[in-house]
Amino acid sequence: MNTLYGAPEAAQDRGLFSLSELKPDELSKLVERSVALFRDRDAHSFPLRDRVAGVLFTRTSTRTRTAFQTGVVRLGGTPIAYGPHDLQLNTGESVGDTARVLGSMLDLLVARTSGPLDELRALSTEGGLPVINAMAAQEHPTQGVCDLATLALAHGDLGGIRVMYIGEGNNTAVALAYGIATVPGARCDFVTPPGYGLPDGVLDTARGIAGTAGAELTETHDVADAPEQLDVVYTTRWQTTGTSKADPAWRETFRPFHVDAVLMRRWPQASFLHDLPAHRGDEVTGEVLDGPRSLAWTQAKMKLSSAMAVLEAAADLTTG
């Protein structure tokens, strides 16, 4: 793979597919740039001037799509937006043929599709252009950049930060695992409902990354095992995009994993994160989401500056 900062290994896929493929200093550079751009959104030199970026979303999106389209414009580029019904992919044209055509005209592609991560890699290799994963079932890497940047903005140095993620082990959780794994001395405890944990292999991969930084990652399926000391409580909605739950009683399984004021009282200093959209009354109460310790709305705003940081790095991979 050939990630945001180069270092090709195999075929020529370029862009951002998974945080597990970035070196720790590459990720921390993205986080720093996100914070800098959050503080001053004009602190750049229009790296996408004369560049055209496709923004392909075949799945719903509020924050990520708006952030990337706006980010392209703010960085001096021109976005071309495609929704779920626009491309001939929808009438059966192959990914390869689509990539070949898009790559001959566009400089960069931001994509959230219903296909696997490999489909995004194919768009890059067959199109010969950088691709940014704007969320796939496997991982939501740009959310991970945003989350670390939000924590860096609010907590300062991330070294030693203690995070609990409570909820389904979804795409957001995977990116968080890979992201926190790069932070020296950090700890992330995943408290996931039984049967809805992190995908196989994710903790092993994250622990492999963490080996260098000395971060610690654990997973439990019981809220009673939540850590005693925490700086951050992170949750996510119960219905992950593109998934359905076979068990009709799934809500009973998820209910003990909701975040309310009683739970938050266990960690009086902890801040609260949520990748949104939220369902008040399910995974979190309005009191917590809209309360003084919630960073969720700062986190949502950080989507733009973190998208700009990712686009800025991807601009270096464009050839036009």
Ligand X SMILES: NC(=O)NCCC[C@H](N)C(=O)O
Which residues are near ligand X by CB under 6 A? 63-64, 135, 140, 143, 170-172, 236-237, 240-241, 275-276
**At 112, is the secondary structure helix, strand, or coil?**
strand
By DSSP bridging, strand 78-82 and strand 52-57 are: parallel
CA dist 193 and 221 (Å) reads 5
Q: What is the largest CA-CA distance in the chain?
A: 55
CA dist 144 and 172 (Å) reads 7
Least gap, CB of 251 to ligand X (angstroms): 17
**Number of C-beta neighbours around residue 4 at 10 A:** 26
- Closer residue to ligand X, CB minimum distance, 99 or 272: 272
Q: Which strands form 271-274's sheet, in the order they lie side by side?
A: 216-220, 187-191, 162-166, 232-235, 271-274
CA dist 262 and 157 (Å) reads 28
- Closer residue to ligand X, CB minimum distance, 219 or 283: 283
Least gap, CB of 202 to ligand X (angstroms): 14
Q: Which residue has the tokens 């909701």?
A: 258
Least gap, CB of 265 to ligand X (angstroms): 26
Least gap, CB of 182 to ligand X (angstroms): 20
CA dist 297 and 173 (Å) reads 18
- Closer residue to ligand X, CB minimum distance, 205 or 241: 241
E strand or H helix that includes residue 191: strand 187-191
Least gap, CB of 159 to ligand X (angstroms): 26
- Closer residue to ligand X, CB minimum distance, 124 or 170: 170
**At 5, is the secondary structure helix, strand, or coil?**
coil
Least gap, CB of 58 to ligand X (angstroms): 14
- Closer residue to ligand X, CB minimum distance, 127 or 169: 169
Q: Which strands form 108-112's sheet, in the order they lie side by side?
A: 15-16, 131-133, 108-112, 52-57, 78-82
Least gap, CB of 268 to ligand X (angstroms): 27
**Six token digits for residue 187:** 């700890």
Least gap, CB of 242 to ligand X (angstroms): 7
Of 266, 255, 261, 256, the residue nearest 287 (C-alpha): 261
CA dist 54 and 91 (Å) reads 19
- Closer residue to ligand X, CB minimum distance, 60 or 88: 60
- Closer residue to ligand X, CB minimum distance, 99 or 314: 314
- Closer residue to ligand X, CB minimum distance, 13 or 168: 168
Which residue, judged by CB position, is nearest to ligand X in the bound state? 241
E strand or H helix that includes residue 310: helix 296-315
